[in-house]
Amino acid sequence: MLRPESIALNLSPLPRQPAATPWPTGRWSRNQPVVSDADQLRQYCDEIFQLNEAQGVTYALQIISQGELVLDRYDAGASAAYLQYSWSMAKSITHALVGILVKQGKLDIYAPAAVPEWQDDARRDITLDQLLRMSSGLEFQEDYIDSGSDVIAMLQFDGRHDVGAFAANKPLIHGPGSVWSYASGTTNIICRILKDTVEGGASGMLRFMNDELFEPLGIRSATPKFDTSGTFIGSSYLFATPQDFARFGLLYLRDGVWDGQQILPAGWVDYARTPTYQSDTEAYGAQWWLSPDHPDWFYCGGYDGQRILCVPQKDLVIVRCGRTPVAEVDYIWERIAAIVSLF
């Protein structure tokens, strides 16, 4: 169960699925976007797709309004059937998997994390909550360019066969819960705990993911990647179609409920969007990003500008898939914000 004090009291209410709108378990109900300026909407969408060489490429853009697909656009050879990289959007899917096991009574996020390497030192006090909130205190260099980066070593070199063990063996450099530091390694420690809890290795984990999360939502394309040890590489690697990413976003916008079924435990979405860290430029909850400029927004964010944005006050989910360098992502983000303002 979640502790009441961990849930902020000023979060925007999460909207329910309109009674007349079917859940997109089979296919999306489609409609035209209802906006204040249709020409402006077309312009902003065009700008997201018509990028220059430095800005990269946009493959897909989806807008879900009131539970209906109102914009579904592709470019650069992509289509509705084209699988897209999640990159770190997979962290938010990991959050959902933890929630399901919490609901089943198999995990307690406030208990010390079950990590064998930590039983004889100060790391034994690190909780699953602190891992979810990127405040474990473990050393980890999150850098996607430097060859000395821990995340590159974990995903591509020394740690690639057992990503959870690679991250779990990092030393403690801060007291658990005292410092926020974004680290893909912490998510993979969580994923190893998930594997050990579910049992059955990669096949057991895949069956759990499909039976408990993907199939109930009608997500048919989700393709997670596992390391040699059978751990889901939940920091970075899950492929899916943009419409299936949108289904996942809708689950969170609907407070973890899908067509009358409580997929995630009550309060789990609020736990994800309760701030752990905030600066002038970024904010973080639990495996979900928040926005300092838009307090009701919460989103899955991934490398290359991958996004699943949830906007409760407007009942919107917006998915963008593409390849845009970090330095240019603000260009995309500004146009997405402008699109939101039109609804």
* pLDDT tens, N- to C-terminus, the chain (343 residues): 344 444 555 899 999 999 999 999 999 999 999 999 999 999 999 999 999 999 999 999 999 999 999 999 999 999 999 999 999 999 999 999 999 999 999 999 999 999 999 999 999 999 999 999 999 999 999 988 776 799 999 999 999 999 999 999 999 999 999 999 999 999 999 999 999 999 999 999 999 999 999 999 999 999 999 999 999 999 999 999 999 999 999 999 999 999 999 999 999 999 999 999 999 999 999 999 999 999 999 999 999 999 999 999 999 999 999 999 999 999 999 999 999 999 9
The reported pLDDT for the residue numbered 145 is: 77
SS3 string, the chain, reads CCCHHHCCCCCCCCCCCCCCCCCCCCCCCECCCCCCCHHHHHHHHHHHHCCCHHHCEEEEEEEEECCEEEEEEECCCCCCCCCEECCCHHHHHHHHHHHHHHHCCCCCCCCECCCHHHCCCHHHHCEHHHHHCCCCCECCCCCCCCCCCHHHHHHHCCCCCCHHHHHHCCCECCCCCCCCCCCHHHHHHHHHHHHHHHCCHHHHHHHHHHHHHHHHHCCCCCEECECCCCCECCCCCEEECHHHHHHHHHHHHCCCEECCEECCCCCHHHHHCCCCEECCCCEECCCCEECCCCCCCEEEEEHHHEEEEEEHHHCEEEEEEEECCHHHHHHHHHHHHHHHHHC
Residue 8: the pLDDT is 52
The pLDDT of residue 1: 37
20-342 to CATH, choices 3.40.710.10, 3.40.390.10, 1.10.357.10, 3.40.50.2300: 3.40.710.10
